[in-house]
Amino acid sequence: MSVSEMFITLQGVLTADQDIREEIRKVVQTLEQTAREILTLLQGVHQGAGFQDIPKKCLKAREHFGAVKTQLASLKTKFPADQYYRFHEHWRFVLQRLVFLAAFVVYLETETLVTREAVTEILGIEADRERGFHLDIEDYLSGILTLASELSRLAVNSVTAGDYSRPLRISTFINELDSGFRLLNLKNDSLRKRYDGLKYDVKKIEEVVYDLSIRGLSKEAASDVGGEK
């Protein structure tokens, strides 16, 4: 085989590669579009009036996740199943965003942390690598960290809207999340950088709780919570 023949073969391989990437990019664009729509929906909870119909917003968001499922299903067909990590970079960002959105919906509904398995169910993908298109653990954790900063924002806005008990609940939740992340030994990568931002979210929420308690508002809230129980 001559040198030029070899390079012609290689060129064919590279072109085929580029075609796959192009296809993937198209699907990822539609995914990003859907993710933006869901985010816009959920952003409504930050507005004063938004606190009343949170369940309704969550339901709507869950409908949109149906579209996400079909888009992810079509993404699966664009590349060989055993080359997930070869093209991982293309959908990494959008997948993290979708994890965050799913986690946000689940938190608003039940005030618990979504499990990895539950996320994969919402997105219609697999939990472990052997079975096909799956959710990488680092992407899951990144999405959860985005949730933390969103919740610290929600705590601030819920005080503005006059809901004094929510920040206390968020505070408990974030503190538990923080302890969870402290169990992990992270490398110096993007996940680590994002984790370093978590302490600011924790601090922000503590300030909110402090402001409430110093004005006696948290006692009110606490007794409300106690009453509900």
Partner 1 sequence: MSSKEGSGGFRKRKHDNFAHGQRKDEKDNVNSSSSLMVSFKSFQLELDTRHDKYERLVKLSRDITIESKRTIFLLHRITSDPNGEEILNESEAKLEAVRQKIKQVAQELIGEDMYQFHRAISPGLQEYVEAVSFQYFIKTRSLISVKEINKQLIFTMEDKEEETNTPSSNPYDKQLCTWSLKVTPVDYLLGVADLTGELMRMCINSVGNGDIDTPFELSQFLRQIYDGFSYIGNTGPYEVSKKLYTLKQSLAKVENACYTLKVRGSEIPKHMLADVFSTKAEMIDREEGLS
Helix axis angle for 217-228 and 166-182, nearest 10°, is 90
| Nearest distance from C-beta of residue 85 to partner 1, angstroms | 4
62, 163, 213, 224: which one binds partner 1 (CB under 8 A): 213
59, 66, 110, 184: which one binds partner 1 (CB under 8 A): 184
29, 83, 110, 190: which one binds partner 1 (CB under 8 A): 83
Q: Kindly state whether residue 200 participates in binding partner 1, applying the rule CB under 8 A.
A: no
User: Max CA-CA distance within the chain?
Assistant: 83
Q: Kindly state whether residue 215 participates in binding partner 1, applying the rule CB under 8 A.
A: no
Q: Kindly state whether residue 207 participates in binding partner 1, applying the rule CB under 8 A.
A: yes
With 0-12 CB in 10 A as exposed, 13-18 as middle and 19+ as buried, what is 205? buried
Return the range that interacts with partner 1 (CB under 8 A); candidates 51-59, 93-101, 193-201, 209-217: 209-217
C-alpha–C-alpha distance, residues 62 and 95, integer Å: 16
Summarize as ranges the residues that interact with partner 1 (CB under 8 A).
1-4, 6-8, 10-11, 13-15, 18, 82-86, 88, 113, 115-116, 129-130, 137-138, 141, 171-172, 175-177, 179-181, 183-187, 206-207, 209-210, 212-214, 218
